[in-house]
Structure 1
Amino acid sequence: MFKNEYQGGAFVEVFSAQGKNPGANWKILGSPSVIWKEFDKEVKSFVFVLEGSSQTNKIQLPKENKQILGLIQRFLVLQIYIPLGRDFSTELLITDLRNIKRRLYLSTVHKELSSTPLHAKIPLFMIKRKIWCNLCIDLVAFTSEIFKGAVFQSLDGIIVSANCKLRKIFTLKYKPQDTADKDDEPTDIIPRSCQLTTDVPQVTQLLNMTKLRQTEIKSAGHPLSSAESDQFINRGTGSMRSSKNQDICHIAFGSKVLGPPPLSGRRNNMRISSEPICILCIHIPLKNHQLIRITGENYG
């Protein structure tokens, strides 16, 4: 769809909720009662609303499975509003320089990062809610660090699932400033034609492997280091390969993907266990001045 279009500028607009029929190029999976277009008074523009199950209610671009997007800029931005207490997911079809298609499945359902050679589950526990967010996904970083040795070539498919309000989707050539944990205003890297008005509460949140490592896991109480992140990726890869569902396939973007469809993330506290060990030595005097040593382990 965009392969033969000029992509050398600062951004490429992929989707806008404005216009008569903004969903014309999208495959809509869900009834009008759960996916619809409405005018949002807060942002003073039209938005797409997706509600209900994130597994069944979604929109897919391109509509036809034989088509590809051919988007080559590094950063993908979803301009979204995610409510509190509801799941949200997005699935991205990536093609690397060896023309191997891989999938990034980002979801609030996932509790840990895991991957196979062709598919990755990325948790979105850190995503900002109840505020308009320019969610900026670093496609190059995720491709190279999750799929070791792979080099990002193009983004060829996008699925956005409930629950969210979606205003725009666009790609960026350069990294925007992350304002999710600051009071700064969004920088001009966000193109003016895509910016929300200044009176709308908003953040720009950058998502890459470094941000995942820096985010504190509540159950563990410490950020993930690079080594720990790799450990969890490798552990996820091993467990998924050796599972009984190894030969089961599911359909994503019209093609078969090895392994079961990503349904839910198993809760895992991701804790690196450290069990204190105490060595207790007791010397008991005997008649011939001999000593008996009694050793106990795993006390405490």
Structure 2
Amino acid sequence: MSGAAWPATPVRQAATGTSVGVLGAASLVGRPLLSLLAATGRRVLPCSRAPAPAGWCRPGAALPDGSGAISSWIALCPLWCLPEHLDWLAATGLRTLVALSSTSVVTKRGSVSAAERHVAATLAGAEAEVSSWAARHGVRSCILRPTMIYDGTTDGNVAAIARFVRRVRCFPVCGAATGLRQPVHAADVAAACAAALDAERLADRYDLSGGETLAFRDLVLRTCAATGLPQRLVPLPAALWQVLLPMAHACGLGRDVTTGMARRMNEDLVFDHAAAARDLGFRPRPFQPHVVEGHVGPDTGAGTARDGR
């Protein structure tokens, strides 16, 4: 598959001097988004709490000299952090807001894990707060909910699987692990964010799923193949996961894996992105990782959410 063909989601060229701010610019989606926005002629103000290069700013701080009003913002930070910055964004001239949430708001609300149920409830509350604030302040807004985001190099999904396989030479799964997944590439999520800025028709929320639906076991097997190591799955019953997982955590393995994630390996986490395709021109690539310089990389070779696990 040619890297040049992706991302396929069309993003309009901007008028000269059009400015856009990006909160959470150092994130997984932030890296491809900054490049895409610059390529379409926009002046970009990256914002991050992390140590950042010159020309970036910290949320809540005074904007760099010469920034002018910034009417469009894309928020890639954890959604529950966004409400505290809304008044600051308004002061910069905010008129259009695109914010990233997650399909975890749906998939984790019935989890066996109290922590995961809390994540889902927190996301839902943040979505409602952001939408309500935008409506009260006359701000055009939409919330994007991606599924399992990956870039294959630094993400907490595909890359994490690859790192585990390299270390242990196999991958444990819960039962048959036939639950369906739709991994979505970070660059395709970035393109949807950029396209939403200028969309003529903009709904309040959009699901962003990947261009291919496959069983969790097949996702793991393809990732194993990308590492060049044997494609070896170790099926374990759910009851055994409850016993072995604490032991694995004690050994420093899979510390971010929960029993809820294990159970979801046999649940279909499938979302329809038809609305995003209609309004944003969203056309995500199929899942096809490959090895790049010792890392598992996407089909473009470009470079954290665990939403699909």
> TM range, normalised to the smaller chain?
under 0.3
Please state which structure has a larger fraction of its residues in strand: 1
Please state which structure has a larger fraction of its residues in helix: 2
Normalised by the size of structure 1, how large is the TM-score?
Answer: 0.26
Query: Which structure has more RCO (C-alpha within 8 Å, separation ≥ 6)?
Result: 2
